[in-house]
Structure 1
Amino acid sequence: MNPRSDLAAYACHPAASRGRRHPETPAPTRSEYQRDRDRIVHSTAFRRLVYKTQVFLNHEGDLFRTRLTHSLEVAQLGRSIARSLRIDEDLVEAISLAHDLGHTPFGHAGQDALHECMADHGGFEHNLQSLRVVDRLEERYPHFDGLNLTFETREGILKHCSKVHAQQIEEAEPGGVGGRFLRREQPSLEAQLCNLADEIAYNAHDIDDGVRSGLITLDQLREVPLFDEYRHAAQAAHPHLNEVAMHRRLLYEAIRLMLSAQVYDVIDATSAALARAAPASADAVRLSAPLVCFSEPMREQSVVLKRFLFKNLYRHAQVMETTGRAKQVVRDLFTAYLQSPHEMKPAFAQQASAGDMAVKARAIADFIAGMTDRFAVREHQRLTGLRLLD
């Protein structure tokens, strides 16, 4: 297991992976993390992301981000930063592409509704569901369920986890991906980077989609110092962008400059943190404080941006009205399948009929979580006769 010379000692080296739950012969031309990435890209759950909501429902416009395009943007940002930090780009990409595989239709609205429906049966959380997708729900291989990904990719997918769920995972898989939450350890640098790249990506593209939708304006964004700084920089460098007809290009240029500044800030701040902590291995990283980070000024500016988006976009009356109807679709579907499990696809119907109420509810949650927005709308109309979302 010779470490790659292009990776730092603190990176996850694919030759030193903790392995897969089901042993497999190594591939002759790909590293273990490249194999993970490829399996994720070819999975059914990954393809579904193209029709799953990010902020705006999929039918509301062809150019708004979906879970798929968001995941691709996270992967692009993550790889760019990973190369400068000399950590494994393939692992970063694999985690980035898989981190939202467990998201429900209709984004966070669907997740919240499904969590309410599952309140008496362990709840629902999309990080846990993403792990469930790659460990159990994908059916592609003859001898095991799931994608049989490496420990390191699965560790990165499980971004958050309650103590109760961590204990359940640890009981089922001693020494597995749940243990770090019980020991209060950090994940790998690659996983930490994906978490931050996720934040950078959605803050930037939600500005773009928010302005495109007309729900927020360039004038409103003067309240956000992080964006306004780069809007002024773009105007100073390219005065013709002040013309009304050029405002779309002004938006793009300001976002581009803002993204670049955040990427360079993460590289500088993380490099400084690594120099101070001096971890000699990936395992040493897990015993350190979090190391992938913004500088404090950038962190403060990012918080202001997030608060602005929460207030002016995510809680906009138009978004909330659609959110309410989306939640109703999920609740109605759950109730319908609870009363008539045979209305689900055969594999889920069989599982729902083979166990107690908790098993039945989890099978229903798995089925609903795997739906695209438009399939959920069609199913709801088929079962209730109502069309809540156009």
Structure 2
Amino acid sequence: MMNWEQLLRAGRSDLKKRTASSPEQYRSEFERDYDRIIFSAPFRNLQDKTQVFPLPELDFVHTRLTHSLEVSSVGRSLGKSAGKYLLQKYPELESKGITSSDIGAIVAAAALTHDIGNPPFGHSGEDAISDFFKFHPCGQMWKPHLHEEEWADMISFEGNAQGFRMLLEKDNGLQLSFATLAAFTKYPRPAKIEKKDKNRRSQKKYGFFADQIGQYHNLAKLLGIPASGKDTWYRHPLAFLVEAADDICYSIIDLEDGCTLGLVQLEEVVTLLAEIIGDRFNEEKLNSLNSKSQKLAILRAMAIGRLIEESVDCFKKYEEQMLSGEFDSALTDMIDSAHVLEKISRLSINKIYRSQPVLEKEAAGFQVLEGLLEVFSKALYHKYYDSDRFSGQDRSILRLLPEEFRTDKEALMPYLLLRNLVDFISGMTDKYALSLYRKVKGISLPGA
């Protein structure tokens, strides 16, 4: 049985040395997490990564950065509200210096990073990286050099696991607190496990790569998170709030973007969101607003507010079962408005996610990422495993890679070599990936 005092343990570490940092008087550990993320390079890169629609000239369509900020804002509200309940139920937490704002800060920081490991071109980028190793000859030739669990990582790229890796990367300067890192990890398992339990939401995807199982094991031990099986753990309860914040935002805000772009009719949006808002919906007041953007803004705000209330109520209801590991579902699947969110999901799939601009972006993403992986992975393979075929072209290509490929002896191991290559490519912005692809394929020249 988990307990909140241990789950909210302050301190931060690299999970190897276990050296906690000293607290500051004017910022809590968890507020420092938020600030470190905001100023980090991986977070800034999200401003040029696709959320759903190709990055447009118009400002109203969301990028990964604006989406992450909105998810974090919703997460803070969820965390603070849930925190007030927890402090009332467990008064000993207050004696340990824990406040509802601390709990809000943990959820806000974890939510801020929830997409930090996503590659260029949205979720199609994840599929493109996986498919390269599954199907492309230049990806397949690495298979004999990897262990089974390492190969499982390569053929099923997962942005959540990439995010966990990035948050622990020393060069990023993040070194987040224990609680924030655990709240971030919605899927506490590696890619390859003995048996996946389809009834457990936390096992739907995976949350860390094969070489980081030991680090998550240390994190779980520090926070008192029990294992649910071999190399699988229960979720940190605050991870349910991080997930709910993301579910709420992409459901409502993708719908808003789709309406703004003319893919969904305003009348459809009003009908759906009015069902969530319930008695608070005032059609007369809505009709008094002049512009579509004003109407969408008020509908969005009221719908998100209602979904936050319902999600917190659901958290309160199942909180003890979260501590025991018995509860393992998405909060937004359990709330009163779940049936409306399901309607929104079906509409979004048909009219937004399968729209022409989105499909064109996905098709381009497959070509760009496959092309980059082909060029770089082939050059690396020739250099280290087939030197007779290492060409001048390969040599020139490898000079475009980051410095660690030339200086880090550990990276010469095949799995870590590929891990660093995927770090490089998945960390690119959409525009940089497209630009580099054109150059290495000879489609355009530098300065042209």
| 1:287 matches 2:314 | no
Q: Are the structure 2 counterparts of residues 234 and 47 from structure 1 closer, same or farther at C-alpha, using a change threshold of 3 Å?
A: same
Contact 2:274–2:281, Cα closer than 8 Å, also in 1: no
Query: Partner of 1:170 in structure 2?
Result: 213
Match of 1:106 among 109, 117, 121: 121
Displacement of 1:81 in angstroms is: 1.8
Query: Partner of 1:297 in structure 2?
Result: 336
| 1:201 matches 2:228 | no
After TM superposition, the score normalised by the length of structure 2 is: 0.72
Q: Are the structure 2 counterparts of residues 237 and 59 from structure 1 closer, same or farther at C-alpha, using a change threshold of 3 Å?
A: closer
Q: Are the structure 2 counterparts of residues 238 and 304 from structure 1 closer, same or farther at C-alpha, using a change threshold of 3 Å?
A: closer
Query: Partner of 2:171 in structure 1?
Result: 139
| 1:314 matches 2:311 | no
Q: Are the structure 2 counterparts of residues 346 and 181 from structure 1 closer, same or farther at C-alpha, using a change threshold of 3 Å?
A: farther
Question: Whole-Å Cα distance in 1 between the matches of residues 82 and 76 of structure 2?
Answer: 10
Question: Whole-Å Cα distance in 2 between the matches of residues 205 and 303 of structure 1?
Answer: 15
| 1:236 matches 2:284 | yes
| 1:250 matches 2:295 | yes
SS class of match (1:127): helix
After TM superposition, the score normalised by the length of structure 1 is: 0.82
Displacement of 1:228 in angstroms is: 5.6
Query: Partner of 1:192 in structure 2?
Result: 240
Question: Whole-Å Cα distance in 2 between the matches of residues 352 and 63 of structure 1?
Answer: 46
Which residues in structure 2 correspond to 1:240-279 (within 5 Å)? 240-241=288-289, 246-274=291-319, 277=320
Query: Partner of 2:40 in structure 1?
Result: 43
| 1:66 matches 2:63 | yes
Q: Are the structure 2 counterparts of residues 357 and 10 from structure 1 closer, same or farther at C-alpha, using a change threshold of 3 Å?
A: closer
SS class of match (1:139): helix
Displacement of 1:15 in angstroms is: 4.8
Which amino acid in structure 2 is aligned with residue 96 of structure 1?
A
SS class of match (1:385): coil
Contact 1:240–1:246, Cα closer than 8 Å, also in 2: no
| 1:26 matches 2:59 | no
- Identity among equivalent positions (%) equals 26
Match of 1:116 among 131, 145, 154: 131
Displacement of 1:125 in angstroms is: 0.7
SS class of match (1:297): coil
| Structure 2 unpaired stretches of 5+ | 84-99, 135-142, 144-150, 194-207, 380-396
Contact 1:98–1:130, Cα closer than 8 Å, also in 2: yes
Question: Whole-Å Cα distance in 2 between the matches of residues 12 and 189 of structure 1?
Answer: 12
Contact 1:57–1:373, Cα closer than 8 Å, also in 2: no
Query: Partner of 1:4 in structure 2?
Result: none
Question: Whole-Å Cα distance in 2 between the matches of residues 116 and 263 of structure 1?
Answer: 37
Q: CA RMSD in A?
A: 3.1
Which residues in structure 2 correspond to 1:80-91 (within 5 Å)? 80-86=77-83, 87=100, 88-91=103-106
Moved more, 116-125 or 313-322: 116-125
SS class of match (1:368): helix
Displacement of 1:32 in angstroms is: 2.2
Displacement of 1:235 in angstroms is: 2.3
